[in-house]
A and B are shown apart, each in its own frame.
Chain A
Amino acid sequence: MASSLLELHSITRTFGAFTALHDVTLALPPGRIGLLGPNGAGKSTLLKILMGLIPPSSGTGRVLDQPLGGDRDSAGNWRLRRLIGFMPEADALVPGLTGIEYVGLAGELYGMPRREAQRRAHEVLSYLELEEARYRRVEEYSTGMKQRAKLAQALVHDPPVLLLDEPTSGLDPAGRDAMLRLIRNLGVDHGKSVLLSTHLLADVEAVCERVVIVAGGRVRRVGTVAELCPRRDDRYRLRVQGDAAGFRDDLESEGVRVLGETGPGEWRVTVPAGWTNLAFFKLAGVNRVVIRSLLRDDETLEELFLRTVSN
């Protein structure tokens, strides 16, 4: 197993006058990584470069110790794409084929011997709980089954890296949970590195250890979810019932700053140093208000993402 998943140095990619990626320098260890970014941020271009589908205009890089651009070896084999299992966002099914034929064909396209590909297709489809449907044609599958079939074709050759493009797209909540659990298991229990490209922040929070936020062709933030969204001990979300105005005045006189009102009697506040939560309840008692909820106001990934993108 390579010590780093990818190392990119000053990668720039232009299409005519348009710069899709601008001077991207990024080093990521193996693990479960979420690639977040709005439309047109450069995610797709980055994925294409990582898969060896397009070369960068400038810059160098390695994915699993394989150089970018020099993707084919002397025998004409695509080394990098053999190490990656790609699950596209589009349907990408072959109408007329059964599930087992579809996954078996994927194995052979990766270069597996036919018998091995067939055997492995059975195993992977069983693992993904599609064994009952493996002899049905893929176009008859439900959306959830189609997504799992697409994951199966990416897994068939047991790649060390999975590149998943919107894997929960179109799934109902139960199907989405199941898919995220599968992806997480592949990463945690089977040591796969997962690069999850999505706009659903909850998916990233459920699966990924690290997050890369891309916007405007640049990498804006990189780090673990804990690093990017640190614990904030001085911020609270407060909801009260009763004479809210008097209570608020008393809070402010004690040095509490109201950052914003999110509803009637609902505030986001920042407290001064040395503040204890008991003080909220004492002031509430004085003003005869009931504190309905008091929560620490850590920044969510969504807020971080929106803040980063809007900047």
Chain B
Amino acid sequence: MPAQTDTLLRYRPWRGELHGPLWGAAAMARVSLKLMFRRRQYWGLFSLSLLVFFFFFYGQYLVVWITTRLADDAVSVGGLKVPVKDVGKFFGRLALNGTAHTFGNFIWFEGYVVVIVLALAGSVLVGNDFAHGSLPFYLSKPIGRWHYVLGKCLAIGVFVNLVTTVPAVLLWLEAGLLDDWQTYYLGNLGLLAGILAYGLVLTITLSLLVVATAVWLRRTVPLAMAWMGAFVLTRVLAGWLVDGLNYGEAWRLIDLWNDLYLVGLWCLGADPATIRPQTQPPFWAAALVVAGVCAGSLLYLRRRVQAVEIVS
């Protein structure tokens, strides 16, 4: 209809209230997450993280069921009769009992998925903005340069918490329901706070590190190589130096994921020696390394983001 076409093609003024710059940062985070989850490989990796969650979820349930119902029975494994209490010991090594180590272990295992996803996500979320000249689009708007960083960090933080903190809280809730829930919940409120604190440490450290490395390297392949180097090679190297060459346990500090784990265990109020036989550096040293990584990332970002030209 001509009248409708005319209406559509006519420029119409707009008047309304505008929100502050934090609103823009939140919009940026939402769109960044949308960009990330538009790629199938992230759904594959997210499914993998769900598998880890379900393993812990049903593992907790199984352990309770075994210990309360089948304590004196035996099950057949490959034709051999294995007492159920021995199966329970195997699960015991994973601490599937709603204690601090349950959540510490859960987040440790989820770390593999987190590191792979973030290695791939850096270029999609941040690197592309530098490589394709999108920064003038963001920075010419009424937001500051740090709002841009905040928006990107928010997107990464949401993903990290979706894979670690949220399922860990669900495991905590499940552990209470499998026990005397009032006693468990009231007696383990500190654990819940510990899970949230661990999530916060992961969110801050990983989001800053992803944004900083993505600003630096921009492309997917170098970013993936850098992340694998930082999280896989350093672990192998740390193990080789400390366990193989008997260097001091301080060398384990080069393994950032281990440092985050130690800080997390401190948040959860657990002693690392009770679950991991290898000697570990003290908590405060790990916390210093994590703080150093955050500070280094912030300083680098400050330098790079300030240097971006919007009008060239």
Residues of A within 8 A of B (CB): 44, 47-48, 51, 53, 75-79, 81-82, 86, 88-97, 101, 105-106, 108-114, 116, 120, 123, 126-127, 129, 131, 139, 153, 157-158, 165, 185-186, 189-190
Contacts and interface: CB of A to CB of B under 8 A. Distances in A.
A137 to B, nearest CB: 10
Contacts of A105: 27-28, 31
Interface string B2-20: 0000001111111111111
Given A51-B311, A53-B310, A81 B9 contact: no
A83 to B, nearest CB: 9
Interface in B76-120: none
B231 to A, nearest CB: 26
B142 A111 contact: yes
Task: Rank and list the top 8 A-B pairs by shortest CB-CB distance, nearest first.
Answer: A111-B18, A78-B142, A108-B27, A109-B141, A158-B14, A90-B133, A81-B142, A88-B136
A51 B31 CA distance: 25
A47 B124 CA distance: 30
Interface of B: 8-21, 23-24, 27-28, 31, 34-35, 38, 124, 128-129, 132-144, 310-312
B29 to A, nearest CB: 11
12 contacts: A76-B21, A77-B18, A77-B21, A88-B137, A92-B135, A92-B137, A97-B31, A108-B23, A109-B138, A110-B142, A126-B9, A165-B311
B312 A89 contact: yes
Contacts of B23: 108, 111
Contacts of B143: 78, 109
A158 B15 contact: yes
Contacts of B12: 123, 127
Contact of A90 (B14, B128, B136): B136
A268 B310 CA distance: 45
B230 to A, nearest CB: 26
Task: Determine which residue in A92, A101, A126 has the highest number of CB atoms from chain B within 10 A of its CB, and name it.
Answer: A92
Contacts of A186: 11
B134 A111 contact: no
A90 B27 contact: no
B27 A114 contact: yes
Nearest to A82: B142
Contacts of B139: 53
A48 B129 contact: no
B18 A157 contact: yes
B17 to A, nearest CB: 8
Given A86-B140, A105-B27, A106-B141, A111 B11 contact: no
Nearest to A189: B11
Nearest to A47: B311
B2 to A, nearest CB: 15
Given A78-B21, A92-B133, A110-B24, A190 B13 contact: yes
B9 A127 contact: yes
A111 B312 contact: no
Nearest to A126: B8
Contacts of A114: 27
A73 B21 CA distance: 12
Nearest to B141: A109
A105 B137 CA distance: 10
B28 A109 contact: yes
Contact of A81 (B35, B134, B140, B312): B140
A53 B311 contact: yes
B124 A93 contact: no
Nearest to B137: A92
Contacts of A51: 140, 310-311
B24 A92 contact: no
B20 A75 contact: yes
A15 B35 CA distance: 38
B144 to A, nearest CB: 8
A95 B38 CA distance: 12
A33 B137 CA distance: 23
A128 to B, nearest CB: 9
A123 B19 CA distance: 21
Contacts of B15: 158
Nearest to B10: A127
A44 B140 contact: no
Contacts of A90: 133, 136, 312
Contacts of B137: 88, 92-94, 106, 153
Contacts of B8: 123, 126-127, 131
Contacts of A158: 13-15
B311 A44 contact: yes
B11 A157 contact: no
Nearest to A101: B31
A94 B36 CA distance: 13
A88 B311 contact: yes
Contacts of B31: 94, 97, 101, 105
B192 to A, nearest CB: 32
B24 A108 contact: yes
A30 to B, nearest CB: 15
Contacts of B129: 94
Contacts of A123: 8, 12
B150 to A, nearest CB: 13
Contact of A93 (B13, B27, B28, B132): B132
A89 B129 CA distance: 15
Given A89-B312, A91-B133, A127-B10, A112 B18 contact: yes
A116 B142 contact: no
Contacts of B17: 113
Nearest to A96: B35
Nearest to A94: B134
Contacts of A48: 310-311
